[in-house]
């Protein structure tokens, strides 16, 4: 390299006017290009902030709920300890509220007053008595879940300047709520039902946990099926298969599968898993299998790309010191390709996490109250829950929809974080 002489500046056109101009132009072009890039990123970030901002602003109230404090008398005459399920605790809560508003006597008004307490109060009181039977016969201040209309009035969702007939709460109800608030009977708290229960038709009782569990169970089946199959298929195709017409055909088909609309996998799932194998409807097991089919091509393609990126020198060196082909693959090539394989898997799973279309045909777009506990319990998944809530007429579901989207995004961030951690681990080995 030393024998190469530096070009002499004299005599060349370096200092000429035209050269300077050209240089200037090139620098300007580069600056412009950078500015475009920054602008593109700025636009993307602005959209992202706008989207997340509106979702957070809309969804955040759903994580809080209004509780109403009532002085409940656990009337021993009405509580049959042998048959707690048959006891009307709702009436007990309602009577406590009626006592606070003795001026309300008309049946219709009483009904409206009763609506300020959630129907969940029944269950809440029953659980309290079950946990502590000594409550019976006592009088105690109890915090109960408020009805959805009360909650939305307190949160300021309803436009109360509109005429009475045209909003879901009446003037007397608003007056009652104001009075309760002035007397300090209303309190804000964390919306535990939202975080710990399954779906419900009553917005204040509807929870996201059922869908979170459903997604978790479904994705674990998807991972358990698609990861080993996908990786083994890719390793064979990339490392062992000879190039012939059959293998070309398989390769083309795998690439095509990646582009098939997801509803098609749902139809396949209905025909194969439900009708032929007789698996149960609405089960995370079937959902996971269908989504695994959908995820497979993504994993195979990503894995093959990762394997191809491992330099041939590694393989040759391993073979050179006497490793068998299998040892080359399992000891060297696959571990080296692992970061790429994991990235592909996570992308595939993230895609699967957001799918609703293939789940429609196998019965997972459904109203399910009980939180699923195993792979054959009826379950639904997060995006389906978002879709169902977005479609519900009750106003209180608006905030729940956004809150559910926040949970879904949180889920995705968690998955990506796991991927990053795993990638770091595997990268450090080599």
CB 337, CB 309: distance < 8 Å: yes
Measure Cα distances from 52 to 46, 47, 48, 59, 250 in Å: 10, 8, 6, 10, 41
Measure Cα distances from 16 to 9, 11, 13, 24 in Å: 11, 10, 5, 12
SS3 184: coil
- Of residues 81 and 330, the one with the C-beta less far from another protein: 330
User: Which residue, chain included where needed, has tokens 């009088």?
Assistant: 139
Residues 297-326 that bind another protein (CB under 8 A): none
Q: Which residue from 387, 362, 345 is spatially nearest to 284, judged by alpha carbons?
A: 362
Which phi and psi angles does 242 have, rounded to 5°?
Answer: -85, 155
Binding status of residue 165 toward another protein by CB under 8 A: yes
Q: Which stretch binds another protein (CB under 8 A): 24-32, 56-64, 180-188, 362-370?
A: 362-370
Residues 9-68 that bind another protein (CB under 8 A): none
- Of residues 100 and 272, the one with the C-beta less far from another protein: 272
Residues 268-297 that bind another protein (CB under 8 A): 274-275, 277-283, 285-286, 289
Give me the residues paired with residue 188 across strands: 66
Binding status of residue 227 toward another protein by CB under 8 A: yes
SS (H, E, C) 37-88: HHHHHHHHHHHHHHHHHHHHHHHHHHHEEEEEEEEEECCCCCCCCCCHHHCC
CB of 69 to another protein, least distance (A): 24
Site map 69..88 versus another protein, x via CB under 8 A: ----------------x---
- Among 213, 334, 371, 407, the residue binding another protein under the rule CB under 8 A is 334
- Among 140, 331, 424, 425, the residue binding another protein under the rule CB under 8 A is 331
Q: Which stretch binds another protein (CB under 8 A): 93-101, 184-192, 367-375, 408-416?
A: 367-375
Total chain residues near another protein (CB under 8 A):
57
Site map 116..155 versus another protein, x via CB under 8 A: -------x--------------------------------
Measure Cα distances from 295 to 254, 412, 413 in Å: 11, 16, 19
4: DSSP letter: S
- Among 319, 369, 409, 415, the residue binding another protein under the rule CB under 8 A is 369
Binding status of residue 257 toward another protein by CB under 8 A: no
- Among 375, 412, 415, 423, the residue binding another protein under the rule CB under 8 A is 375
CB of 246 to another protein, least distance (A): 24
- Of residues 181 and 392, the one with the C-beta less far from another protein: 392
Give me the residues paired with residue 64 across strands: 190
Binding status of residue 112 toward another protein by CB under 8 A: no
- Among 142, 300, 306, 388, the residue binding another protein under the rule CB under 8 A is 388
Binding status of residue 228 toward another protein by CB under 8 A: yes
Q: Which residues contact 70 (CB under 8 A, 6 or more apart)?
A: 93, 96, 97, 100, 117, 141, 142, 144, 185
Binding status of residue 391 toward another protein by CB under 8 A: yes
- Among 94, 167, 185, 400, the residue binding another protein under the rule CB under 8 A is 167
Binding status of residue 106 toward another protein by CB under 8 A: no
Binding status of residue 376 toward another protein by CB under 8 A: yes
Residue 61 sits at the vertex; the CA angle it makes with 56 and 66, to the nearest 5 degrees, is 170
Alpha-carbon distance of 301 to 238, in angstroms, equals 10
Binding status of residue 109 toward another protein by CB under 8 A: no
- For the beta carbon of residue 390, count every other beta carbon within 10 angstroms: 14
CB of 335 to another protein, least distance (A): 7
Residues 178-207 that bind another protein (CB under 8 A): 200-202
Q: Which residue from 91, 71, 70, 88 is spatially nearest to 139, judged by alpha carbons?
A: 71
Q: Which residues contact 79 (CB under 8 A, 6 or more apart)?
A: 87, 129, 136
Instruction: Give me the residues that bind another protein (CB under 8 A), please.
Output: 85, 111, 123, 158-159, 162, 165-168, 200-202, 221, 223-225, 227-229, 231-232, 274-275, 277-283, 285-286, 289, 330-331, 334-335, 360, 363, 365-370, 375-376, 378, 388, 390-395, 398
């Amino acid at each position: 390299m030393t024998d190469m002489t530096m070009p002499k500046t004299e005599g060349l056109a370096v200092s000429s006017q035209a050269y300077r101009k050209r240089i200037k132009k090139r620098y300007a072009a580069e600056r412009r290009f950078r500015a475009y890039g920054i602008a593109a990123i700025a636009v993307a970030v602005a959209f992202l902030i706008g989207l997340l901002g509106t979702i957070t602003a809309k969804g955040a109230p759903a994580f809080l709920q209004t509780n109403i404090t009532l002085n409940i008398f656990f009337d021993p005459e009405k509580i049959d300890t042998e048959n707690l399920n048959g006891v009307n605790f709702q009436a007990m809560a309602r009577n406590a509220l009626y006592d606070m508003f003795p001026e309300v006597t008309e049946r219709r008004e009483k009904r409206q007053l009763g609506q300020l307490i959630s129907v969940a109060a029944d269950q809440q009181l029953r659980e309290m008595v079950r946990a502590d039977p000594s409550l019976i016969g006592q009088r105690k201040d109890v915090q109960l879940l408020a009805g959805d209309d009360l909650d939305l009035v307190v949160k300021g969702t309803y436009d109360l300047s509109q005429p009475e007939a045209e909003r879901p709460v009446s003037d007397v109800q608003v007056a009652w709520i104001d009075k309760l608030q002035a007397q300090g009977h209303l309190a804000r708290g964390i919306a535990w039902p939202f975080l710990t229960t399954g779906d419900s038709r009553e917005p204040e009782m509807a929870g996201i946990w059922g869908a979170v569990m459903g997604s978790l169970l479904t994705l674990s089946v998807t991972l358990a099926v698609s990861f080993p199959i996908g990786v083994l298929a890719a390793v064979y195709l990339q490392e062992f298969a000879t190039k012939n017409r059959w293998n070309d055909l398989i390769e083309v088909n795998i690439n095509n599968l990646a582009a098939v609309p997801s509803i098609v996998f749902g139809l396949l799932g209905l025909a194969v898993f439900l009708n032929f194998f007789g698996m149960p409807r609405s089960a995370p097991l079937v959902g996971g299998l269908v989504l695994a089919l959908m995820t497979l091509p993504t994993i195979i393609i990503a894995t093959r790309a990762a394997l191809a990126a491992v330099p041939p020198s590694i393989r040759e060196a391993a073979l050179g010191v006497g490793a068998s082909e299998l040892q080359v693959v399992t000891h060297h090539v696959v571990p080296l390709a692992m970061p790429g394989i994991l990235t592909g898997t996570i992308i595939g799973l993230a895609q699967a996490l957001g799918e609703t279309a293939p789940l429609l045909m196998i019965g997972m777009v459904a109203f399910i109250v009980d939180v699923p506990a195993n792979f054959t319990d009826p379950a639904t998944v997060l995006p389906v829950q978002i879709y169902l809530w977005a479609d519900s007429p009750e106003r209180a579901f608006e905030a729940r929809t956004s809150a559910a989207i926040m949970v879904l995004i949180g889920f995705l961030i968690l998955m990506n974080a796991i991927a990053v951690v795993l990638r770091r681990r595997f990268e450090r080995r080599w």
